[in-house]
A and B are shown apart, each in its own frame.
Chain A
Amino acid sequence: MADMVNILVDGTPIAVEKGTLVIEAARRLGIMIPHFCYHPKIKPDANCRMCLVEVEKMPKLQTSCSTLVAEGMAVRTNTAVVEEAHKSVLEFILANHPLDCPICDQGGRCDLQDFSHRYTPTKSDFLDVKRVFQKEYFSPLIDKEMNRCVQCLRCVRYCDEVIDAKALAPIGRGSRTEISHFTSHQLDCEFCGGCVQICPVGAFTNRLSDYEFRPWMMKRADTVCGYCGDGCTITLQSREDELIEVISSFEKGRNSGDLCARGYFGYQFVNHPDRLTMPLVRQPDGRFEPTTWEDVLPLLAERFTQVKLAYGSEAVGGLITSRGTNEDLYVFQKFMRLAIGSNHLDSAARFGHVNAVEAMRRVQGTNRWTVSYEDIVNADCLLLIGTQITWTNPIAGLKVKEAVKKHGAKLLTIEAMQPSIETTSNIANLSTTHLTVEVGRHPAAVHGLLKAVFDEGVADNHLAATASGYVDRTRAAVSALPYPEGMDEATLRTIARTFAGSRRGVILIGQDLLQSPGGYEASVNLMDLLLLLGKLSEKGWGLAPLTEENNEQGAIEMGATADYFPGAASLDDAAARTRIASAWKESPPVGAGMRMLDMLEAARSGKLKAMLIVGENPARTLPASAKPAEALGRLEFLVVQELFLTETAKLAHVVLPASSYAEKSGSFTNSEGCVQKVRAGLEPLGGSRPDWEILSAVSVLMGYPLEYGDAAEILKEIRAVIPGYRVLGATPEPARVDRPAMDRYVGGGFAEDMASRYRATSNITQDSSYPWSLWVGQSLFHSGKLSTMAKGLLEIQKEGRLYMNPADLQRMQLAEGEMVTLTSVAGEARVPVGALGRIPRGILFFPESFKEAIAGLLTMTPDAVTGVPYHKQQRVAVHKT
């Protein structure tokens, strides 16, 4: 229990923790002290002077935002003197304020407006000329109106302290102080929208919604963002079924009001004119003909039944995006398993997250994190391996930044990008110890870390005594390996020593590790690392794999993969089968399921005759060399549920218009396993329907009725079938390590693939015909298939560029934007180049959301254990032509 301090606020006693600010103590009593510059997320600056209060025995008024409580302190917030001070500060601010409230988007939710209404008379003594700043173009997404600015610098401080981008700065002095950015022409930053959200007035506004609304006219719905796995609570603000803006309220959700570019500016795909609004049926001449649900549903039931009768249930496969709700995913797998009768189904979690889940199930007996965001914030050491966290999972990245910047945690990074000073944040800049590792070589770095654990003598003695076989054999396997070529031994040893010596540590892994060869084995080996340090089952310690899509964790837990039933239970888990059969009143099919690549192969070979694809686009996602379109083209019947007419949809026999996340209710499960409510902000666009509704309707016509009145009914069934879905909401109890499972692993389970897990990885390939290492990954502004339909994000990044280190660009005598030709063993591509200081020399980066431009270059290798298709790196040559 922290030391408590007793104070009086306006005569009311309250006990608060030592170190509490007076303004916060008052807030707990429901007393709102007016303020502009104060915000709980950032350090007090006490510049606006609005929050002045009387403190007994102090001669001057004190700023309550910077005054700490002291025992016996008596604070007065409502005396005549204090009111007069509030009035006077407002009078000063309003002297220069333009009072253009009728055309200001902040009007109606503006602190200055509210306080003015509360404190100031209607008449001003200011008779002179108001300060006018010259209007300047700021950025395509954020409008800056400096005349409205109250110079509280919240934006600048947030951008620095929370986001760590430092893209904004005040320039000029006195009443001419102006918020500006560091770049010469227009704002170049992370576009998290934080400056807009944290501005107490209308100095920063969202240009995507400029002049579109008055806040009180909008319909609001609190839901969860549909981009990455961070699970941010957002509020959809709409008018007449058009999504006007997305905001996020402070202290709400796992993100506590923070957002990223995708979350804040990436919403306009929802009302995109190209959205599908009617079912489409392919005609004999190859054209699509729009039709009605009444006509298309019987057609679907009939065709699926025909295929089943003719070729058996095994001839039908299903693939679903992990962007859907748990309810969509659950009904999808149930539809496949009961209505179709096939275990051949998979989801986008197959692209990498299954590697982490399989490792966690094997070593710690859970399919979830044993830590939460709070554990990240409270850790004193964080180890990031292959996460690219700010780009892929920006809000989880903020938790890391908070731990480091606010609480002084040590940050160890083994990442593909190197430290560099830019106007977007770079997690490596905050590192205590950093090792730059090319994508694909993270597993080798993990080997190096384990070797360092033994070389530094930091392995847990207790474990060595109780599980000597495990420790000795791991030591022997690791010691036989050399330190990986090109990685500094001292750095690896420092990382191992620092991590081992910390009080609470979390290992975060992400796409660069999980979506590259060796992703599964490296995940298991990292759990070996935690075991060897004696930390795996300790409170606050754990492995935290970050998910790319918003509901990959849910996809696995709903059983929407070939390997698992709902609850991530193995298909051969008899108890799970019984439990599910009793809930479903019918037994799920026996027999192994085909995974994504198996299904494509089966389609190619003619074994698979029909497929149901929900929101996935394998024709584009998988490299051209894997010929996904050709495989899909051989199907007798392909049904695609989609928002847009994608490459895969174009191959379909029937295309069904699906609703976006903004138009449906249900739940998402984020990276940390937190199950959160998704609420519809809009009516389904046109004739679109939520995915589960479509499948439910087809199932009825097929004679296997999966009938649900609404998403809540599905969730009720989910909660009965799946352990762990009883607790919903934003504060989950993290899973615990399952002791028996861990003991099984340490007692011998580890040994089954020991040789392959600790096999020396191939060294850096020196291929003189393809000297560059190309890496295709997610960028900050785009992920998945929807961001490139969002106008706002396209304003920031409209095309794929081949990013390379400025020194490489110079060496090649290339200018930004110039076209180059890339060649690989698979083919060639022509793309423009760009410079980025954080890309190490010799490395090329291309954002995957634009990868159609380089689709011809890539090759694919599947993971031998988990079937994950690895296709994100390629040796290439760059030709200046």
Chain B
Amino acid sequence: MPHELILLKNMSQPGYTGSLADYERAGGYQAIRKVLGKMPPGDVTDLVKRSGLRGRGGAGFPTGVKWSFIPKDHPGPRYLCCNADESEPGTFKDRQLMERDPHQMIEGMIIASYAIGVRIAYIYIRGEFVMGAKILERALAEAYKAGYLGENILGTGFAVDIYVHRGAGAYICGEETALLESLEGKRGLPRTKPPFPATNGLFNKPTVVNNVETLANLPYIVNRGVEWFMAIGNPPKSTGTRVFCLSGHIKRPGNYEVPMGITFREMIYDIAGGMRGDKPLKAFIPGGASASFFTSQHLDVKMDFESVAQAGSMLGSGGVTVMEEGTCMVWAAENLLHFFNHESCGKCTPCREGSSWLLQILRRIEHGKGKMEDLGTLARLCPNIAGRTVCAFGDAEIAPILSTLQYFRDEYETHVREQRCPFRRAPAPDLIAVGHG
């Protein structure tokens, strides 16, 4: 299916290095010339609002609306943070966007800063992205040298500085308030909301946190207009493209940029080349580890915010993990809970205690020590976590369990009845030492 690449276009050109010169040659840094000093900041926010652009980090909140929550007359500084803490299992698009075409996102940050009235912006990048951080530092240096950053940008009088801050290795710091805590030099734990970052964000100042991919879209919306952007995808609720990250038992894993609204079937079979060894598809995660599992019956669901939500999951971060027939769903859930238990920050009780308890039950079932009552306990505990935690992590950690229980309950029962994993995988090593001892 032919479709125009937007965010991945430059980097798909042979020989494109992501340098400032390459980016400018490809038409880069033209958008800020149209915006800075030419458009009132409010009009830029309005433009983004009208484009229907929604956050690409997971929650899909309308970007322009988020900006408009910043109090207009607030004295003192306000901040923009680029959330580059991409840590969702099965998601690897931001990394590519940053490493291969950093200026696209930097230009987006300048536009956003101008619209919100930001003097200092931060890129909070996942700690493990050492190379990405270096590339960004280099790109920022180029942009400063070229006069796109710092004082009096392009002679317009507008000024913004961007700093790169590397995280220290916690998944939770991708949650925007934990990110802000971490950026302030504190332990990365989510904050109780309200108040929201728009009024009490970084250093208690009004703050916008936007994802890498979200920001990278901005120069194109400015350059090519709202109408052009609105025509892509599945308007009015899901406009533009998404960079989906395909992984799992498929022939061609990787990042694919497509207009929102194509079906999972098209994505998996036409674009990503179909299943590895042409085995039947058993299940897939449609939007990162925090999204509920789908099964083969969901292949014709459209890949846009509303359709996926309607079908009972979420488009999330755009990470699609595909599992073939023969994959143990209890093991899959255990594997994910291993991750969530390891990453639960421990701030609030239901998530902290729930994740370790759920993991222990799943591990017992998978290792042939389950009891039938365990299934009831799983189903009972999950709703006690959902909606009762400080942040969305609690909702995320129960998604794999509830969805696998919903679609593959028989597999759980077989595990318990036969006191073994019917898929006869080699026993998994005890990955988690619960506690210190």
Interfacial residues, chain A to chain B (CB-CB below 8 A): 44-50, 52, 60-61, 63, 66, 85, 88-89, 91-93, 95-96, 125-134, 150-151, 169-170, 172-178
Contact = CB atoms under 8 A, between A and B. Distances in A.
Contact of A49 (B350, B373, B380): B350
Given A85-B388, A133-B435, A125 B377 contact: yes
A344 to B, nearest CB: 61
Contacts of B364: 127-128
B347 interface: yes
A128 B345 contact: no
22 contacts: A45-B192, A46-B390, A47-B349, A60-B387, A61-B387, A63-B192, A88-B384, A89-B388, A92-B353, A125-B380, A128-B360, A132-B435, A132-B436, A134-B436, A134-B437, A150-B349, A151-B347, A174-B342, A175-B346, A175-B352, A176-B346, A177-B346
A567 B436 CA distance: 63
B349 A92 contact: yes
A89 B192 contact: no
Nearest to A152: B349
B247 interface: no
Contact of B356 (A45, A66, A170, A174): A174
A789 B269 CA distance: 82
Contacts of B371: 127
Contacts of B389: 49
B343 A174 contact: yes
Interface in B320-377: 341-350, 352-357, 360-361, 364, 371, 373-374, 377
B416 interface: no
Contacts of A176: 346, 435-436
A47 B361 contact: no
Contacts of B356: 96, 131, 174-175
B174 to A, nearest CB: 14
Contact of A47 (B342, B343, B347, B434): B347
Contact of A174 (B187, B344, B390): B344
Contacts of B355: 174-175
A373 to B, nearest CB: 29
Contacts of B192: 44-46, 63, 66
B170 interface: yes
A91 B384 CA distance: 10
Contacts of B384: 85, 88, 91-92
A60 B395 CA distance: 13
A859 to B, nearest CB: 49
A177 B352 contact: yes
Contacts of A44: 192
A95 B384 CA distance: 14
Interface in B367-419: 371, 373-374, 377, 380, 384, 387-390
Given A45-B192, A66-B192, A92-B357, A129 B349 contact: no
Contact of A175 (B170, B187, B434): B434
A99 to B, nearest CB: 15
Determine which residue in A52, A131, A176 has the highest number of CB atoms from chain B within 10 A of its CB, and name it: A176
A176 B348 CA distance: 13
A178 B436 contact: yes
Given A95-B353, A96-B353, A150-B349, A132 B437 contact: yes
Contacts of A133: 435-437
A811 to B, nearest CB: 33
Contacts of A93: 349, 353
Closest 10 CB pairs of A and B: A92-B353, A177-B346, A128-B360, A131-B435, A88-B384, A174-B344, A46-B192, A174-B346, A175-B356, A132-B437
Contacts of A92: 349-350, 352-354, 357, 384
A175 B353 contact: yes
A150 B377 CA distance: 22
A95 B344 contact: no
Categorize the interface residue count of chain B.
35 or more
A178 B437 CA distance: 13
Nearest to A65: B192
A304 B85 CA distance: 85
B436 A174 contact: no
Given A96-B356, A131-B435, 10 more contacts: A47-B348, A49-B388, A61-B387, A88-B384, A89-B349, A89-B350, A91-B384, A131-B356, A173-B343, A174-B341
Contact of B170 (A45, A125, A173): A173
Nearest to B433: A176
B159 to A, nearest CB: 30
B345 A173 contact: yes
Nearest to A133: B436
A733 B81 CA distance: 52
Given A52-B388, A92-B354, A133-B436, A151 B346 contact: yes
Contacts of B380: 125
A131 B434 contact: yes
Nearest to A44: B192
A174 B352 contact: yes
A173 B178 CA distance: 13
A520 B42 CA distance: 64
Contacts of A63: 192
A505 B325 CA distance: 76
Nearest to B187: A170
Interface string B2-25: 000000000000000000000000
A220 to B, nearest CB: 32
Nearest to B170: A173
Contacts of B354: 92
A172 B435 CA distance: 10
A445 to B, nearest CB: 35
Contact of B349 (A50, A128, A172): A50
B353 A61 contact: no
A66 B192 CA distance: 8
Interface in B201-231: none
Determine which residue in B341, B349, B356, B371 has the highest number of CB atoms from chain A within 10 A of its CB, and name it: B349
Interface in B84-122: none
Given A125-B377, A174-B345, A47 B357 contact: no
Contacts of B345: 173-174
B348 A49 contact: yes
A64 to B, nearest CB: 12
B268 to A, nearest CB: 34
A19 B341 CA distance: 36
B388 A61 contact: yes
Contacts of A45: 192, 347
A311 B260 CA distance: 110
Interface string B182-205: 000001000010000000000000
Contacts of B360: 128-129
B135 to A, nearest CB: 29
A172 B345 CA distance: 9
A725 B353 CA distance: 56
Determine which residue in A93, A131, A150 has the highest number of CB atoms from chain B within 10 A of its CB, and name it: A131
B193 to A, nearest CB: 9
A574 B387 CA distance: 76
Contacts of B187: 169-170
A176 B356 CA distance: 10
A150 B371 CA distance: 28
A48 B388 CA distance: 10
Nearest to A170: B187
Contacts of B390: 46-47
A818 B341 CA distance: 49
Contacts of B352: 92, 151, 174-175, 177
Nearest to B354: A92
A878 to B, nearest CB: 39
Contacts of A48: 348-349
Nearest to B188: A173
A225 to B, nearest CB: 35
Contact of B373 (A125, A129, A174): A125
Contacts of B344: 173-175
Nearest to A171: B187
Nearest to B344: A174
